[in-house]
Structure 1
Amino acid sequence: MPRTYHAGELAVQAQADTVAQAAKMAHTVRTNVPAALSMFLSALPWVLIGGIDALEHVWASPIFGKPGFVGTPTDAEVRIAAHILMGDPLHGAGARGTGWPAGMLAIDLRWRMRARINGTIRADEGGMTITVDECYANCPKYIQDHQLDVEDVSAQPTRVRSDRMSAKGRALVRGADTMFIASVGPDLSADVSHRGGPSGFVECSADGTALRFADYPGNGVFNTLGNLHCDARSGLTFFGFETGELLQLTGYASSKPTRNRTVEFNVVEAIWCANLTRRRP
């Protein structure tokens, strides 16, 4: 069965005149994990999880392990043999009764490959399991070549929380060519996606309370912008691939139906981590 789009996605598709294009893409969405994607997952040393924290804020959070830590016990489940790092706002995700809506982005920045898997996540002592609702591959467009040294990831990195980006956080954003964005649909289903462009494609306000970026043309589906059309809560994550830094933001985003579909994001909370990994020599 092809994917059914929700009202927000349909509204943005209509604005962008991509309804027919999106209808074709609906047939590429699966409810099971194909063998090729399973092999891709098994080679990854990190993925991102998107979802809502206990304060009802949306975040995009990384989770790390050695290749093989992500697997597929069945084609309807994804097993992650690790937890989100202590201190992360999504730490403990899935330990909430019957489960927790989550989106997962599997991405290899060196090989320029990515896929999204959304469903319900449950945690246990050994890690987390996602029951798959939908999974689909994304094209490699706008993926920039980077490597994250996950072998040096700190188990308990130092985090500084604020209501805005610090000077170092603003500098990281202004120099970034890669960003990750989490959002939620009208049924609170979660999704996390990738955005890329030339260095500086994300603009940052002088006081660190807001940023803006153009949403470049893609597959015409508008999963993220469709979610934001219904629920403005969102989370952004930036890595300092050379410096070992990490910036996580949660706040509210809105999209203007201009030619480049500019997205404006207002910060509610910023989490700065200066020592996620060791700085490269």
Structure 2
Amino acid sequence: MFHEGELAVQDRAGVRLEAARLSGMLAPGGLSRGAAGWLAERTLAVVTGRDAAGRLWASALTGAPGFLAGLGRTLRVGATLPAGDPLHDLPAGQRVGLIAIDFATRRRMRVNGTLTRVDELTIDVAEAFGNCPQYIHPRRLEAAPAAPATFTAPGKLSPADVAAVRGADTFFLGTAHPVRGADASHRGGPPGFLRSDGDGGELWWPDYPGNNMFNSLGNLAADPAAALLVPDFTTGRTLHLSGTATVEWTEAGTGAPDEVTGRRVRFHPTAVVAGVHPALTAR
């Protein structure tokens, strides 16, 4: 069932009936054998959760095929969040969201549930569902190198960070609902679709047409906490941004050429962690 935030955004967008046809995707359930088999072949996932201070972040998990192992209600993640990653010390017992993605075949799957263990990341799966291939740029991640990920916490975006944001064609969005928990989703578009106003004090992007369920925007309608993970697949550099976001409604077709839905998301970062994640280089 959709929660009140998702229903409110669906109503505002005039797609309540279209979304209702997909509501079964959100029915409680675990990982089927097909879903578990697909996850077992992946080398990249992104998790959304809260750190020990309650701040929302999105972080990358990488490993060789098989590092995502599960069936039914249990998903085990054979990877750690290294020291310096904003979710390195994420507490157990919280609701988390995870998205696994294969850029080469343009497929992705979301898995949401409760984090039950942190010594070996283990998720009690509440729901798992696939998303369409829209806006996924085909690329192949390089084989995971031996070099570990490293992180710094500059506190705010540098001019180089702002340039990286403006050149990105992919980012991951973390949101959360007060009861239903966290969610991780993928956003893609032409380079420059993620905009920065001025010195990066605010970012925004047009909300492109999708499946009309509005899981992310619905969460924002209920709780403005948001997190962005912006990867640079050429260098392996990552930007982790935590802050708040709001949905802005405009008149469709009155902005830039890609603003066709009349919806924007405006994000205000309040914390920044920069990383170098060699496993996120691609060709």
TM-score (ref. length: structure 1): 0.91
- Alpha-carbon distance in 1 for matches of 2:191, 2:277: 21
**Deviations 1:106-136 (CA, angstroms, capped at 9, x unpaired):** 11111100010000012343x2111011111
Which residue identity lines up with residue 248 of structure 1 in the other structure?
Answer: H
Report the alpha carbon displacement of residue 159 of structure 1 after superposing the two structures with TM: 1.6
In the alignment, is residue 264 of structure 1 matched against residue 263 of structure 2? no
In the alignment, is residue 234 of structure 1 matched against residue 232 of structure 2? no
Which residue identity lines up with residue 143 of structure 1 in the other structure?
Answer: I
Unaligned runs of 5+ in 2: 253-260
Partner of 1:62: 60
Report the alpha carbon displacement of residue 148 of structure 1 after superposing the two structures with TM: 3.1
CA RMSD of aligned residues (A): 1.8
CA contact (8 A) 1:252 1:266 kept: yes
- Alpha-carbon distance in 1 for matches of 2:19, 2:32: 22
Partner of 1:123: 117
Which residue identity lines up with residue 76 of structure 2 in the other structure?
Answer: R
Partner of 1:50: 48
- Do the aligned partners of residues 156 and 217 (structure 1) sit closer, same or farther apart at CA in structure 2, a change above 3 Å counting? closer
Partner of 2:135: 142
Report the alpha carbon displacement of residue 6 of structure 1 after superposing the two structures with TM: 0.9
- Alpha-carbon distance in 2 for matches of 1:228, 1:40: 29
- Alpha-carbon distance in 1 for matches of 2:73, 2:87: 23
Give the one of 177, 181, 201 matched to 1:189: 181
Report the alpha carbon displacement of residue 151 of structure 1 after superposing the two structures with TM: 1.2
Partner of 2:16: 19
CA contact (8 A) 2:51 2:89 kept: no
Give the one of 97, 101, 108 matched to 1:107: 101
Unaligned runs of 5+ in 1: none
Partner of 2:153: 160
Comparing 263-272 with 82-91, greater Cα deviation is found at 82-91
| Secondary structure of 1:158 counterpart | strand
| Secondary structure of 1:121 counterpart | strand
| Secondary structure of 1:91 counterpart | coil
- Do the aligned partners of residues 153 and 173 (structure 1) sit closer, same or farther apart at CA in structure 2, a change above 3 Å counting? farther
Which residue identity lines up with residue 66 of structure 1 in the other structure?
Answer: A
Report the alpha carbon displacement of residue 264 of structure 1 after superposing the two structures with TM: 0.4
**Deviations 1:71-107 (CA, angstroms, capped at 9, x unpaired):** 11x311111112222211111334x4xx221000011
Which residue identity lines up with residue 4 of structure 2 in the other structure?
Answer: A
- Alpha-carbon distance in 1 for matches of 2:101, 2:55: 24
- Do the aligned partners of residues 280 and 253 (structure 1) sit closer, same or farther apart at CA in structure 2, a change above 3 Å counting? closer
- Alpha-carbon distance in 2 for matches of 1:156, 1:6: 37
- Do the aligned partners of residues 153 and 244 (structure 1) sit closer, same or farther apart at CA in structure 2, a change above 3 Å counting? farther
CA contact (8 A) 1:93 1:123 kept: no
TM-score (ref. length: structure 2): 0.91
- Alpha-carbon distance in 2 for matches of 1:241, 1:63: 15
- Alpha-carbon distance in 2 for matches of 1:153, 1:176: 25
- Alpha-carbon distance in 1 for matches of 2:6, 2:282: 41
- Alpha-carbon distance in 1 for matches of 2:227, 2:205: 14
- Alpha-carbon distance in 1 for matches of 2:216, 2:57: 13
**Deviations 1:221-277 (CA, angstroms, capped at 9, x unpaired):** 10000000111010001111011211110010000123331000011011112x321
